[in-house]
A and B are shown apart, each in its own frame.
Chain A
Amino acid sequence: MLLNTIIISITDRENQVHELETPTDMGLSIMELCKSYELPVEGTCGGMALCASCHVYVLSEHDLHEPSDDELAMLDSAFFVKPNSRLGCQIKITEALDGLKLKLAPVST
């Protein structure tokens, strides 16, 4: 494996698991990672916590930073929200996230 890369596992909405290799030194977010691998994540608002199209469930026990007020406010008006819900655009990829397991939340129209 290359230096400064980690693996993040993402289960799509058809329950297929994707093991994604990603750099940790490019300031990428989970939303951007999903888009770069062409997973069905729209990221409509471009990462401003405004659309919840990158809504994911955190399946592993990783210690993620606390959600910001903007993220919480967005999750409050999103659907299919569970206690382990996060917005992918607000999760920055760092080395600490190696082995992180996520699942894409259903899309609401």
Chain B
Amino acid sequence: MTNTTIETDIIIIGAGPVGLFAVFEAGLLKLRCHIIDILPQPGGQLTEIYPKKPIYDIPGYPSVLASELVDNLMQQIAPFNPGFTLGDSAEIVEKQADGRWLVTTGRGQQHLAPVIFIAGGLGCFEPRKPPIDNIAQFEDNGVDYFVRNPDQYKDKRIVIAGGGDSALDWTIFLADVAKEVTLIHRRTEFRGAPDSVEKMYELSHQGRIKLVTNAQVTGLNGNGHLQSVVIEHDTEGTSVVDADYFVPLFGLTPKLGPIANWNLNLDKGAIEVNTFDYATNVEGIFAIGDINTYPGKLKLILCGFHEATLACQSAYKIVFPGKKLSFKYTTVTGIEGLGA
């Protein structure tokens, strides 16, 4: 993929409330921002997980819906024209000869800036992987955590594991595509949409899929590519099913993701920062919001706002070395004319 490199003052990783508010505070200092987020829309957890839940501890709002807070933040930062790279993850961070950071996403988009704010919240949501010893060696060789291209399962034998909607939906869909579909679920009951559950039982009665309940996949066999899966039944021992593909669908779980490889000091999955300006151990990289840790850390949006504000002060000194920074209230200057 060939794209022009995006150049800015601060690359913000994470479009949650703290990442968004950082744009505002940076904007007051005439610092431009570009936000990268793996989710396709801004708001982070607030949009993705609890858009309709009220939040009660945002100063000045007795109660505000998470989605409203995001809308308001987007409105608040609009005058500063932030850039967005959405639906893509920041994968690689490299220091350039001129001291700036080059951030490359999974899709190959490059971003260049002297400062990075990591506002990654819980991290990236990654598929939950079943605890099978040799599962890693079959990843992309028969084990798929997502169904990306259903055509690849044409005339193949597929084992799907899980009891939620995605396991049911793909079982139903692939019944018409694959040579053989086996659905394995740990319990008897399925928690998916009632329609899908019914449809799946119907396919099972018609013999178009094989349904195995009260069982789980505990082993994988193959030579290079997957050939069979070992199923452990709650009461009847184990059995082996020939399979070209094993698709475990157990939902997503938050993980630190690629950030874990950026040489930052970590403590229990959070990035260590100082409380002077929320800088990490790597110069020019700051961490703000739920993803950082320090003595007394509280994972609150309002604390993240404070952290973003202080980090901007130090970012200014990196972006404009030697330039004096004078502090002004928005009540005095307004934000008119500050937009980039």
A residues in contact (CB < 8 Å) with B: 42, 44-46, 48, 50-52, 72-73, 76-81, 106, 108-109
Contact = CB atoms under 8 A, between A and B. Distances in A.
Contacts of A72: 191
Most chain B beta carbons < 10 A, residue from A45, A76, A79: A76
A45 B205 CA distance: 39
A48 B122 CA distance: 12
B125 to A, nearest CB: 9
Nearest to A107: B131
Contact of A42 (B130, B268, B299): B268
Size category, B interface: 20 to 34
Contacts of A42: 268-269
A16 B154 CA distance: 51
A2 B60 CA distance: 37
B164 A76 contact: yes
Contact of B187 (A76, A108, A109): A76
B290 A108 contact: no
B129 interface: yes
Interface in B176-191: 186-187, 191
Contacts of A52: 253
Contacts of A73: 164, 191
26 contacts: A42-B268, A44-B122, A44-B253, A44-B254, A46-B122, A46-B290, A46-B299, A48-B49, A50-B253, A51-B122, A51-B253, A51-B254, A52-B253, A73-B164, A73-B191, A76-B164, A76-B186, A76-B187, A76-B191, A77-B128, A78-B250, A79-B128, A79-B130, A79-B250, A106-B131, A108-B130
A48 B187 CA distance: 23
Most chain B beta carbons < 10 A, residue from A44, A51, A80: A44
B251 interface: yes
Contacts of B269: 42, 44
Interface in B155-187: 162-164, 186-187
B146 interface: no
Nearest to A81: B186
Most chain A beta carbons < 10 A, residue from B164, B187, B251, B290: B251
Contact of A79 (B49, B131, B187, B290): B131
A77 B268 contact: no
A50 B254 contact: yes
Nearest to B290: A46
B320 interface: no
B215 to A, nearest CB: 13
Contacts of B122: 44-46, 51
A100 to B, nearest CB: 25
A108 B129 CA distance: 8
Interface in B230-257: 250-251, 253-254
Contacts of B254: 44-45, 50-51
Contacts of A81: 186
A72 B189 CA distance: 11
